[in-house]
Every structure is written in C-alpha cells, then in structure tokens.
Amino acid sequence: MGPVRGAAKKRRKIEKQINGDKVPAQEQDPADWWDGLSRRISGPLALANAPNKIESVFKVSTKTFDYIYSLVKEDLMAKSSSFVGLDGKPLSLKDQVAIALRRLSSGESLLTVGDFFSVSPSVVSQVTWRFVEAMEERGLHHLRWPNPEEMKVIKAKFEKIRGLPNCCGAIDTTHIVMSLPSVEASKVWYDKEENYSMVLQAIVDPEMRFRDIVTGWPGSVTDSCLLKSSGFFKLCEKGKRLNGNVIELPEGSHVREYVVGDIGFPLLPWLVTPYPGKDISICKVEFNKRHYATRMVAQRALARLKEMWKIVQGVMWRPDKHKLPRIILVCCLLHNIIIDMEDEVQDELPLSHHHDTGYRQQFCHSMDKSAFIQRDKLSQYLSDGLPP
C-alpha cells in the first residue's frame, strides 16, 4: 500500500462511567440493538418494517456490519470520551459504528446524519473520525500485496479475461473533488479541469480488490508523476515487486510480470500501456481491445468505491487535507472487506466504469525501449493468425 498521511493514536483501556459507578462498557444483544435502532430512526429509510435490511442504510449486510464492528470494538472502547444522543442517553459502540458507516456510505452532511440518528453534528464528526482511526489500525490487513500463491490465482484470472499472460494487476487514478475556502485554495490543488482535488492511485486485482493505493497528492499532479513518486514504483524499479516467474511464449520469447494501465502512464518493463493513435495495424488494434478489457477492472473498482462510499464521490466540503487521505484509505479498506466477506450487497449494484466524470484522458509519452519490445511480443502472441 502506498503512503497515507497520519497514524492511528495509541490505544488506552478505560472504564465507562455509568450511574456514578465505573463498570466495563457492555453491548446489547445484536437483535435487541437492531430493534432499538429501528425504533429510534425515522424517515423513508426507517427499518421498523424491514429489520433485516441493514444494507438499505449502511450499504453492507448484517454479517459484514458485525465483522466491521468486531474489528474496531476494542479501539472504540479504549477512547476516554463517551457520546450521548439528543435524548441524553449514551450511544453504544454499535451505535457509533452505525453512525460512521452511514456518514461514509451516504456522503450526507453532519447535520443530516445527525438528524437521522438523533445526535448532534459534532457527535457525528467525532464518532466518524474515531471509527476512521480504528479502521486504520485494525483493518489494514485487508489491503496488501498478494503473496506468491495468491498471485498465481490472480494471473490466471486476468488471463481468463482476454488472454493477457502473466498480468498481475490493473492501475488507474481518480480525483476526489474538494471545495476549499479561499484562504486554503492553493494553486497546487487546482487541477487541469479547474477543480480543487486530491488524487487516488490504485492497483486492482481481477475481483476489483485494491492491492496498492497512493493518495494525499494534489489533483494537479499527473498520473505519470504520481506513479514515479510512489513506493510501488520504487519497489518495482529495485526489482522487489513484480519480480516473479518469467513465462515463455510459444514462439520462444519471454514476458515478465507486469500491470496494465492506460496511456496516462509511462510504458515500462513492468507497466504495459496500449498502442497510441488510430492508424495502427490490425494486430495492435486487437491487442488494445484485449488490454482495455483487462484494465477495465480498475475503472470498475474506482467507480464502485465512489458508488458505495459516497463521501468520496461528490464535492468534499472544506475537507481537512490531512484527514482526507485517511478517510479515502478507510473507504478502500471497507471496499475490500465487502469483497472479502463475499457480501451479496455488491451483487445488487450495477457495474460502471465512469469514476472520473468531467476529466479528460491524460497522455504520457515516456517509453522504455525494452518495454516497447515486450509489448510487441505480447501483441504478436495475442494476435496469432491475424494479418500484421
């Protein structure tokens, strides 16, 4: 995973003050808690008549909600502050997780989320941030580079899409648009589409799972520059990543491990981009079609991220630029958890590849000679039988 600013605070075990006596914080029975939440919330998404439809509010199934809760419970218990609703009653740990998930998944304002749960906007803000800190600490194992055995499966699945052999991932970037106050509206955050934005770079596996991310950089940074500034680039250049088995093609040529990306990225020995231009051979056209179908998983993953976790979909209103990268990271972790849990919620969402609406295709003309040769070998292999 790439660099993300900030680190989770050290945890401290505390006791909760109840009726003047200190006793360990306890949780309700899950069914009782859900029944209670159903009665408390109101409006068109109220669950009183559909207690099992947790996904209608939080975008996750009951099973996934409980798993996320189990991840952050200990860290949330270790926080010294207690939170109460507008009725003066204390919020349980599950209430806090519910509020945070609603805020991240809906992208609604602090006031709207607060009204939904009958808590103040300040409580929504604090609870959400504590959840983000806990997820950073407890959920990071859901975003990691594959081990050799996992990579074998990944390469087989990528090859099954449209025949690209030894492909290990698809890379793409997207912009998180921000509305900044004039005192913070530095030109560095002003991108080419005349928005203030932060960029997210992601490398994705065939299941649309994020395997490496980089965020926190201004939207004015190009895809190529962001890549070359990333830890992933440095590892690949040092031979410490994408350094697995080299395969031999039928005609005797060899192809190393690589990821695929669009023409906004440089053509490198370990990053294969499509052939530019329209006046190209039939073989190259065929290669580009296969390449596009393969890298589509990255576009779909980023589109799904923004659809599921709408806090990063619209225009972020005056975000803290130090906290925003950590919020993006946690949304990526939640995205992966839904995949890892095989949550059926994801099956109900339409597949889209439009994640950066309003942004034009970038072009990078940087090209490595050996990478040029390898791409031609791949093109010839995939276009066997077609005229040159």
pLDDT tens digits, one per residue of 112-133: 999 999 999 999 999 999 999 9
Q: Domain check: are 365 and 339 in the same one?
A: yes
Q: Domain check: are 228 and 273 in the same one?
A: yes
What is the overall mean pLDDT for the chain?
A: 86
Q: Domain check: are 177 and 48 in the same one?
A: no
| 81-113 confidence digits (pLDDT tens) | 689 988 888 999 999 999 999 999 999 999 999
Asked whether residue 174 carries a pLDDT value surpassing 50, the answer given is yes
Q: Domain check: are 275 and 373 in the same one?
A: yes
The least confident of 222-226, 322-326, 344-348, 367-371 is 344-348
Question: Residue 112 falls within a domain, yes or no?
Answer: yes
pLDDT of residue 353: 79
Asked whether residue 53 carries a pLDDT value surpassing 70, the answer given is no
Asked whether residue 12 carries a pLDDT value surpassing 60, the answer given is no
Q: Which residues pair with 198 in a beta bridge?
A: 176, 218
The least confident of 192-196, 350-354, 367-371 is 350-354
Asked whether residue 200 carries a pLDDT value surpassing 90, the answer given is yes
Q: Domain check: are 257 and 332 in the same one?
A: yes
Question: Residue 221 falls within a domain, yes or no?
Answer: yes
Reported as a pLDDT band with limits 50, 70 and 90, residue 187 is confident
Question: Residue 9 falls within a domain, yes or no?
Answer: no
| 154-165 confidence digits (pLDDT tens) | 999 999 999 999
Question: Residue 342 falls within a domain, yes or no?
Answer: yes
Q: Domain check: are 165 and 90 in the same one?
A: no
Q: Domain check: are 214 and 283 in the same one?
A: yes
Question: Residue 77 falls within a domain, yes or no?
Answer: yes
Q: Domain check: are 301 and 251 in the same one?
A: yes
pLDDT of residue 188: 87
Query: For a pLDDT cut of 90, what percent of the chain falls above it?
Result: 67
Q: Which one is predicted more confidently, 15 or 312?
A: 312
- Look at residues 138, 163, 180 and tell me which one is the last residue of a structural domain: 138
- 360: CB partners within 8 A, 6+ apart: 192, 193
Q: Domain check: are 232 and 330 in the same one?
A: yes
pTM: 0.88
Q: Domain check: are 353 and 222 in the same one?
A: yes
Asked whether residue 36 carries a pLDDT value surpassing 60, the answer given is yes
Question: Residue 231 falls within a domain, yes or no?
Answer: yes
Q: How many domains does the chain have?
A: 2
Q: Domain check: are 239 and 170 in the same one?
A: yes
- Report d(CA 357, CA 72) in Å as an integer: 34
Q: Domain check: are 81 and 186 in the same one?
A: no
Question: Residue 246 falls within a domain, yes or no?
Answer: yes
Average pLDDT over residues 18-24: 36
- Look at residues 115, 138, 161 and tell me which one is the last residue of a structural domain: 138
- Look at residues 138, 169, 198 and tell me which one is the last residue of a structural domain: 138
Asked whether residue 27 carries a pLDDT value surpassing 90, the answer given is no
Task: List the domain range (segments joined by +) for residue 90.
Answer: 16-138
Structure tokens at 258: 């690589």
Q: Which one is predicted more confidently, 31 or 10?
A: 31
pLDDT of residue 344: 85
Comparing CA positions, the residue from 161, 164, 193 lying closest to residue 177 is 193
Q: Which one is predicted more confidently, 386 or 123?
A: 123
Question: Residue 1 falls within a domain, yes or no?
Answer: no
